Amino acid sequence: MMNKQSLRHIKREATANTLADAAFKLALEKGLDGFVVEDIVQQAGYSRRTFANHFSCKEEAIARAAVSFNGKEEVNEWLGSLHQDISPLDCLYQLMKMQLTTEHFHKLRQLVLLSKQHPTLEPYILSALHGLQLTAQKMLNEFARGRYHEGYTHLLTGAVYGAVLPLLDGSLNILLPNQAADKASYAVTFDQYLDTMFSYLRSGF
């Protein structure tokens, strides 16, 4: 049975996500300068005080929407079913495939494009992406249960999430999951890029 603290956390997360989604939608529709916090709370159906309990500004809310991941329960169930013999590298490989869905990737790319037009977003993007990395590192540490040095998982997650950045800013031409091949037939697929990246990590470059 779910305890009150867990239920409170779920409700808090849901409220933050609703506010963040409203901010992200307004940013795409009107640009960062085309709306204020009051517009966000009206669209989300919350008060300005509730917004202030979750975010310091609209930029932080926008960044949260683009990096929030809706499959946390699925990931937690998957982690619980993993065999202890699997390596942290293979664990992280599967985690990346589960996290970086087409919808999630498009949101991240839109966020990066917005930041090029509105540089005030950049520190919040970096903070949000760092949060994703820390979450992955925490998951790996919990799974490893002291079998690996904490510095190993830190370096591993840093290398993997660092390799994702060129996909977000368009530096590398990658065909995203479920993207029609005829739109970018010259690009390697996301799975191919992921496999290549992890083969480098497995071989130690």
Q: Which pLDDT belongs to residue 69?
A: 62
* Domain enclosing residue 51, as ranges: 1-62
pLDDT digits (tens, 9 = 90+) for 102-159: 777 788 888 888 988 899 998 988 888 888 788 888 888 877 777 777 788 888 888 8
Q: What is the pTM of this model?
A: 0.76
The predicted pLDDT at position 138 comes to 82
One domain, residues 76 and 53: no
Continuous segment of H or E residues that includes residue 84: none
Amino acid at 107: K
Residue ranges for the chain with pLDDT beneath 50: 1-2, 184
Q: 126 and 55: one domain?
A: no
Q: Are residues 133 and 180 in the same domain?
A: yes
Domain count within the chain: 2
Distance CA 115, CA 121 (A): 5
Last residue in a domain, options 35, 62, 89: 62
Asked if 102 and 178 count as a contact pair (C-beta separation under 8 A), the reply is yes
For residue 11, give the CATH number of its domain: 1.10.10
Same-domain check for residues 13 and 86: no
